[in-house]
Structure 1
């Protein structure tokens, strides 16, 4: 039987929509953040927790009759798999029980290249899940970082100025204290992103401790980020770049324009500040930075984008992939705001990844133009290219395969790797099930190894039915490849290489991406065709494990209809479906939380009224929703 994907519907959800009871929030997702340089680097408390995919739905619920509907909150819980969310949770407590570097100063760039990534990771996890947990954690980290700012520490730079920045001594010959633009961008961008996420999610009224709300924090963090931008105003050139301070003669390049990535880190901050404040000056500067970046990019023979660390005419192999990730991230932010970069430009960046950087599941070029491979300073940073998943699903599968193999979340101790796992969570597509083109496969040992099939010829095929031809998905394949193997997708005319694997040395898991750019119904049942290309040897073909079937999530518990002021609600949602699963709240009263593992709702009614909840259960294959109203007399 061909695999089926679907979603459930909820009568009460339709009733609530019809009566206008649902409050629709804006999408809080934004394709990304990343960083690296003035040296480049890598690199936190709370409980795990909430969800998104293949078509929404709902499983029953209860509704209130009469009573005043108390205004609550609505967040976006995106579609996608959930496996990388739990991987992130495995990693979060790895350093200082989740504190990471929040209590460090930046004199050795620890905040810029360590804590900056940790903060970005928490913003990405909120975009992935819609869970207030990640804004709580992010606020805690930001508060620690703000306490380390020069004007809070009472320390002074080389000009005897104590400003809204984080001084560094590590890169200067005699430890002269200097605040780098790139460091300010890395550290302050997550502050503006916090404010943007609070504004777009509608969570401003959420309490965050000490009588403060997310809205209060957003206001304070916006002011702090604006002060940091203002500290560097005298380094701005209206041609579209920042300068090293001319009087900082101890630097190697006083008065010279910054490398592209260093200006672009500030560009991300400027875009986010414009989102929050609406001030035209921020958008004007960010747009000019984007125009200058685009002007430095050449086009290679395969349509790929090529550029240098400092701009100018392209010289092979060009920018390294760590600093280059910042450029790409900034360009995607510009595209998302309709500034300078177009979809065609993003295609060129994706071509850079696929044609110049990605070699196979264990090999990456150190630079955007190719050349040397697997440098220890570069290979781990490839996760910061994951925003390109929206352009090519194969970017996701390439990074996921590498990270599962060499950078498992439970073992990492780097802020940049934590950020990359957050990006894997944010951009994880829904999973799709495979089945066999039976003529190409044999079952050589049905008694002892009956759930594995072996290819009988070169180009053996499998198929999948994507939940939607228009959306990406990934096939989690258990495979044993005795030789180097490519997985290729058929478009009706030709095959396109999506992944390249070295010999696996035995059974392992690899991801095959479905690319929506090549939809083709091969078998009349919606099946998209893939082939395995290798140097085939008879009786030693690629082995693939059969799918054991999938179970979509389904919420089975009956929600409460009433509550009592001052008494905990006491509802734990339960359901069925393949693990791992993830519980979330898409609609919630102020202050309500759900345990993302157990489904336990934590909320005590503060006053009489009707309160709307929408509980979401997700797994890697789909989602279910349950909307209900709790009446509190």
Structure 2
């Protein structure tokens, strides 16, 4: 296996590439004939058409209940942006108009659906598999008495089952998730707040259990137990800042391109669409104003409001999740010059910059959760930080390749728009990929390590096929482009999801920038 430090001097640098399917080695035109040219617009156009004809998850007509727009169509939209920037062909702007109009038609406010607070907002809610599942258990009169919650992923595959206790006023509660057969059982509970076996307190004291259960008393004056039987938990609708950012980033990019390109801005259709999309991006971003946090140190980030039905409510969002919305802030600032959006983007850039550490190869590394946050540090139930995750032991894992691509994209965009970072920073981000993550597997096939510091072992396909999304920093190190392209070529990849479509667009974009 070629190490991450040896890759740039290894097989790829000599123009040799092994294929994952056959182990054969192809060079020059032989390599191209073995698969697709991932830097050709014809390849992108072919794959983009095939994706939309396939009906695969992530179509512009999808809603975002299960993240299909955020982690599918958003990448296709970003791909169209990169293809326009690569070729300056308005065909890609027209494709954007078609798809963005459909995506905007699936906002909650257009579909007349609401989030967990009952508010129908101009953004896109999500539920399964991301949010807390809740079940209301009722007594023999039909009155709700106990709310059972699970913050485990795929919580709506969880069932709360009530069985008889040792006496008529006692009960046993089993909470089981069918996806992984995780189960938590609480025996001989009471609904009497004065009892040492009071259900809410006993469940809290047992946290964390395999199904991450918490509970809330819905009738504190009563002591009647819930009736026996099984009740399915229901995932609650939440609008995630990371989803809003991923979806609105290319929408705001369209507005920025049109508003800053005189020829496009002179076209009434593009001008009208740019104005419409700009307002849509602003409205969606504003949904998260209540999550914005800033300090006297010049930094800024997003945190989940306590009581939001998701794991780690009340804590700071992961770096990639708040920077995703930062991409939209930066594009709105570039499109309009609005100092409020510029200030938020700059503050996020400062916060992210403080998280970065330089390793022995002068490459950046950083953690998935911000190191100043409660989730990273850990917290106790007595701290009262989180409703659905009462305590945390500290989550200090290093950022991974795929989520790190969002972070690097934000840093590069902030640099391009004069909102933060310098050229030396871009070079360090590029080395994060070329020195820490780029490698080959034992058969010599190009792949990556999982995490931005080169740890975590060889990445799965869900990670290494995201490599081209690091193109935002590729101009500072040619290996980023060459290695990312080689990953697709070695597998003769035929994209089946939106992020792969974006990957081909990014390779086209960078190839044109290198000409």
Question: Under TM normalisation by the shorter chain, which class is it?
Answer: 0.5 to 0.7
1:69-122 residue CA offsets vs partner (Å, 9 max, x unmatched): xxxxxxxxxxxx994222111211112338861100000000000010010000
Is residue 204 of structure 1 aligned with residue 259 of structure 2?
no
Distance 2:266 2:105 in 1: 23
Equivalent residue in structure 2 for 1:279, among 333, 338, 351: 338
1:205 Cα offset (Å): 5.7
The answer for the alignment partner of 1:150 in structure 2 is: 108
Alpha carbons 2:323, 2:406 under 8 Å: kept: yes
1:340 Cα offset (Å): 2.5
Equivalent residue in structure 1 for 2:489, among 386, 404, 427: 404
Equivalent residue in structure 2 for 1:304, among 360, 363, 378: 363
Greater shift after overlay, 231-240 or 313-322? Answer: 313-322
1:409-450 residue CA offsets vs partner (Å, 9 max, x unmatched): xx21110010010000111058xxxxxxxxxxxxxxxxxxxx
1:599-619 residue CA offsets vs partner (Å, 9 max, x unmatched): xxxxxxxxxxxxxxxxxxxxx
Distance 2:38 2:319 in 1: 35
The answer for the alignment partner of 1:214 in structure 2 is: 270
The answer for the alignment partner of 1:353 in structure 2 is: 433
Matches for 1:28-177 after TM superposition, within 5 Å: 83-97=39-53, 101-170=59-128, 171-172=130-131, 173=133, 174-177=234-237
Q: Which secondary structure state, in structure 2, belongs to the residue aligned with residue 359 of structure 1?
A: strand
Is residue 230 of structure 1 aligned with residue 286 of structure 2?
yes
Unpaired segments of 5 or more residues in structure 1? 1-80, 431-471, 474-633
1:377 Cα offset (Å): 2.1
Greater shift after overlay, 194-203 or 392-401? Answer: 194-203
Distance 2:265 2:406 in 1: 33
| TM-score (structure 1 length as normaliser) | 0.52
1:404 Cα offset (Å): 1.4
Distance 1:215 1:274 in 2: 17
The answer for the alignment partner of 2:504 in structure 1 is: 421
Alpha carbons 1:329, 1:385 under 8 Å: kept: yes
Alpha carbons 1:316, 1:369 under 8 Å: kept: no
1:188 Cα offset (Å): 1.0
Q: Which secondary structure state, in structure 1, belongs to the residue aligned with residue 449 of structure 2?
A: strand
**Which one has a larger percent helix, Structure 1 or Structure 2?**
2
Q: Which secondary structure state, in structure 2, belongs to the residue aligned with residue 363 of structure 1?
A: strand
Matches for 1:421-440 after TM superposition, within 5 Å: 421-429=504-512
Distance 1:370 1:401 in 2: 19
Q: Which secondary structure state, in structure 2, belongs to the residue aligned with residue 95 of structure 1?
A: helix
Q: Which secondary structure state, in structure 2, belongs to the residue aligned with residue 237 of structure 1?
A: strand
Is residue 323 of structure 1 aligned with residue 396 of structure 2?
no
Alpha carbons 2:368, 2:396 under 8 Å: kept: no
Distance 2:317 2:396 in 1: 20
Distance 1:303 1:85 in 2: 35
Equivalent residue in structure 1 for 2:460, among 360, 363, 375: 375
Alpha carbons 1:203, 1:215 under 8 Å: kept: no
Unpaired segments of 5 or more residues in structure 2? 1-36, 134-233, 377-394
1:219 Cα offset (Å): 0.5
The answer for the alignment partner of 2:23 in structure 1 is: none
The answer for the alignment partner of 2:199 in structure 1 is: none
Q: Which secondary structure state, in structure 2, belongs to the residue aligned with residue 416 of structure 1?
A: helix
The CA RMSD measured in Å over matched residues stands at 2.1
Q: Which secondary structure state, in structure 2, belongs to the residue aligned with residue 401 of structure 1?
A: helix
Distance 1:402 1:373 in 2: 13
Alpha carbons 1:325, 1:384 under 8 Å: kept: yes
1:359-394 residue CA offsets vs partner (Å, 9 max, x unmatched): 135221011111210312211111100122211112
Distance of aligned partners of 1:247 and 1:83 in 2 relative to their CA distance in 1, 3 Å threshold: closer
The answer for the alignment partner of 1:457 in structure 2 is: none
Alpha carbons 2:39, 2:507 under 8 Å: kept: no
Equivalent residue in structure 1 for 2:469, among 361, 369, 384: 384
The answer for the alignment partner of 1:499 in structure 2 is: none
1:290-346 residue CA offsets vs partner (Å, 9 max, x unmatched): 100010111111111010001229999721000000110100111112222111111
Q: Which secondary structure state, in structure 1, belongs to the residue aligned with residue 50 of structure 2?
A: coil
Alpha carbons 1:268, 1:330 under 8 Å: kept: yes
Equivalent residue in structure 2 for 1:252, among 311, 315, 321: 311
Alpha carbons 1:297, 1:306 under 8 Å: kept: yes
Q: Which secondary structure state, in structure 1, belongs to the residue aligned with residue 435 of structure 2?
A: helix
1:221 Cα offset (Å): 0.4
Distance 2:274 2:418 in 1: 25
Distance of aligned partners of 1:139 and 1:133 in 2 relative to their CA distance in 1, 3 Å threshold: same
Distance 1:89 1:187 in 2: 21
Alpha carbons 1:101, 1:114 under 8 Å: kept: yes
The answer for the alignment partner of 2:147 in structure 1 is: none
Q: Which secondary structure state, in structure 2, belongs to the residue aligned with residue 93 of structure 1?
A: helix
1:563-622 residue CA offsets vs partner (Å, 9 max, x unmatched): xxxxxxxxxxxxxxxxxxxxxxxxxxxxxxxxxxxxxxxxxxxxxxxxxxxxxxxxxxxx
Q: Which secondary structure state, in structure 2, belongs to the residue aligned with residue 241 of structure 1?
A: strand
The answer for the alignment partner of 1:540 in structure 2 is: none
1:232-260 residue CA offsets vs partner (Å, 9 max, x unmatched): 11110013101112221x32111211000
Distance 2:489 2:459 in 1: 16
Matched pairs, number? 345
Alpha carbons 1:260, 1:327 under 8 Å: kept: yes
Distance 2:41 2:465 in 1: 19
Runs of 4+ in 1 over 3 A off after TM superposition: 203-207, 313-317
Is residue 364 of structure 1 aligned with residue 433 of structure 2?
no
Alpha carbons 1:126, 1:135 under 8 Å: kept: yes
**Which one has a larger percent strand, Structure 1 or Structure 2?**
1
Q: Which secondary structure state, in structure 2, belongs to the residue aligned with residue 378 of structure 1?
A: helix
Alpha carbons 2:39, 2:504 under 8 Å: kept: no
Q: Which secondary structure state, in structure 2, belongs to the residue aligned with residue 213 of structure 1?
A: helix
